[in-house]
Amino acid sequence: LVLLQPQIDVQNECFRLDSLAVANYITNKITLSLMPVESVDESKIGQCLSAISEPVFNITLYISSYQFSATGLQFQFNTAFDIQFSLSAAELEQVILANSGNFTMMFQNSVQVRQNIGTIKSLMRDTNSCIQSLNLSYVLNQSVQFTVVPNYCDLDVNSANLKVQLQYIDGDVLNSVNIYKAAGTDRFGDPGAVSFQDVLLYRQDYADYSSASDTSSMESFFLFAEQNQYHQYSLVLTDAVNGVPYIVQAAVQFVQFADPNNCRNNMNPLVWANPNGVVVILNDANLNLITCSTPIDGVTSVGYAVILKSQNESLRLERTESIEVYNLRIGIQFRFDKQFSFPVEEANFYIAYKLFKDSDASFIYEFCLVGTALIGCIQTGITKKYADKVCVRFTFSQSNVCLKRSPVVKSIQIRLYDELNDDIQLAKYYGAYIRLGETLNYQNTSQNICYTCTDFDPTKSFEGSTCQESFAMWGRLISKSNTKFKMRTTDNYSYGEYAMFESTMMYDYWDAMWPSMAITAAFAVVVAIIVLILTRRYRFIKTK
């Protein structure tokens, strides 16, 4: 008796597959994914294996007019798997345009399985890494330019269809500034640029525009950027290959002023963002000097703005003054009308400079400084004068960054001074004091530190000839003006604290009050004498 196995429909019972083909611009490959629609019953797997002899097969993929093959593949029932085919760039361009295709699987005993491809998709070129870094700068009313560090990217910079733009959003409106090809080494439009990596500069000169719409768009950008240095600006390169968009885009979070005269020369700013204000030290000499590598003549006044930007907040503070007054300052200081705090460990700073000349204050030049600000933790400060010492009471911000700050510092310095009518030209200093090896107890809400003449630093300029004399002169000012002081710390790990305050209390009552007490006492004696004389005279008259 011979038992015959029932025949099995190989195509429909063993290979009911769903399929997906994905053309990948990144790798120049197409992937065919085979997925079982439903599991083959375990009892039928043996019959399927008998039908195909062994699960080794070759496959041919047909898309458009192309065919791609792979051999020696191992088929596994009830398991999804992928098959990759390499393509040339030309083949890939055609494959992504196809809407349909099919494949044939050939097993060892000539069993064939033929199916249509369920879906064909394409992955566009990966343009996210085309640009490694990017900077945007401009010269007001003259030019804008992106400076780039490119990575490998197969964008054709010589394509006739390539469009390059500076884009930014003002309100809800997307604005664009066109950048056209122009001759110049490493510049967009350089005849020697063969690949994307050969172009390092995308620049547009205002004078090179020929249309009113282009000049208007750049003028609008200048107006916007002058007040919005911290803003997202994008370089966008757009092309199309066989109707498929190809876009390379990268963004900056702020725009800088180009500085062809190198006026930021020798400026190494340190910026402290404190709860009560901003302090900027511009160079190691602590002098406000603008020393352009290519000198600019005729500067009579300077405008400067300090812009602070954290993740959630921003602040702009600005001032314009004569160049003579600016040069007298030691750094830059702005006080806040109210407490201002940054809820992060650091903030970015942007210092914008504008130079003017003559009585009409006509604009000459602008440049900027950018970097990371230090967050100060001294919330308030007040000096207390005693007969033989000055004490400072600090209160500390209780933000997370301040509570985590190390209390150990190399030194804590204060410097007493006065500016009559807040005029820097009338500033006088009444002593600098320094204590070494101190701690600031950030975990507490406040702390007192006292200084005597043993802590006096004679290397700093001061009024008078000795600590005691300068200290006495300062004490006599307290009742007449709002004296001020600076405090600064240094440590081994960072630049510490730097803050300025305007508040002094007199605890040396005798020094403060003895003139009025002497006058009062003298007046009392005079009154007593007059009363005594009048009383005696009254008695004399009465006895008569």
User: What is the spatial distance between Cα 467 and Cα 431, in angstroms, rounded to a whole number?
Assistant: 7
List of E strands, 108-200: 112-116, 119-123, 131-139, 143-150, 163-170, 173-179
Quick one: tokens of 173?
């409106």
The amino acid occupying position 357 is K
- Report strand pairing: 163-170 vs 230-241: antiparallel
List of E strands, 310-422: 314-322, 332-335, 347-357, 362-375, 378-385, 390-396, 411-419
pLDDT band per the 50, 70, 90 thresholds, residue 522? low
Compute the chain's Rg from CA coordinates: 40
Q: Do domains 270-375 and 378-507 have the same CATH topology?
A: yes
Say what the pLDDT of residue 236 is: 94
User: What is the spatial distance between Cα 206 and Cα 214, in angstroms, rounded to a whole number?
Assistant: 9
Say what the pLDDT of residue 126 is: 59
Question: What DSSP letter does each residue of 257-304 carry, written as one string?
Answer: E--TT-TTTT---EEEEETTEEEEE-STT-------SS--TTEEEEEE
- Sorted by where each begins, the domain ranges of the chain are 10-123, 131-257, 270-375, 378-507, 514-544
What lies within 8 Å, CB to CB, of 221 at 6+ separation is 138, 144, 166, 168, 175, 177
Opening angle at CA 254, ends 249 and 252, nearest 5: 15
Say what the pLDDT of residue 4 is: 41
Quickly count helices (H) and strands (E) in the chain: 7, 31
> What number does CATH give the domain 270-375?
2.60.40
The fold of the 378-507 domain, in CATH, is Immunoglobulin-like (2.60.40)
In 3-state terms the chain splits into helix, strand, coil percentages (rounded to 5) of 20, 45, 35
pLDDT in tens, 238-290: 987 655 678 899 999 999 999 999 998 878 888 888 888 888 888 765 678 88
Answer yes or no: is pLDDT of 531 > 70. no
Say what the pLDDT of residue 521 is: 54
Quick one: tokens of 325?
């007054």
DSSP helix/strand/coil, 118: coil
The answer to whether the pTM exceeds 0.75 is no
**Domain 10-123 maps to which CATH number in 1.10.3470, 3.40.30, 2.60.40, 2.40.10?**
2.60.40
Say what the pLDDT of residue 6 is: 54
Average the pLDDT over 280-305 and give the result: 85
Alpha-carbon distances, residue 55 vs 38, 58, 73, 192 (angstroms): 18, 10, 8, 55
pLDDT in tens, 137-187: 999 999 999 999 998 888 889 998 899 999 999 988 999 999 999 999 999
Answer yes or no: is pLDDT of 2 > 50. no
- Tell me, letter by letter, the H, E, C secondary structure of 67-104: EEEEEEEECCCCCCEEEEEECCHHHHHHHCCCCCEEEE
- Judged by average pLDDT, the poorest of 35-39, 59-63, 132-136, 345-349 is 35-39
Answer yes or no: is pLDDT of 19 > 70. yes
> What value does the mean pLDDT of the chain take?
83
pLDDT in tens, 53-66: 788 899 999 988 88
- Domain 131-257 in CATH 2.60.40? The answer is yes
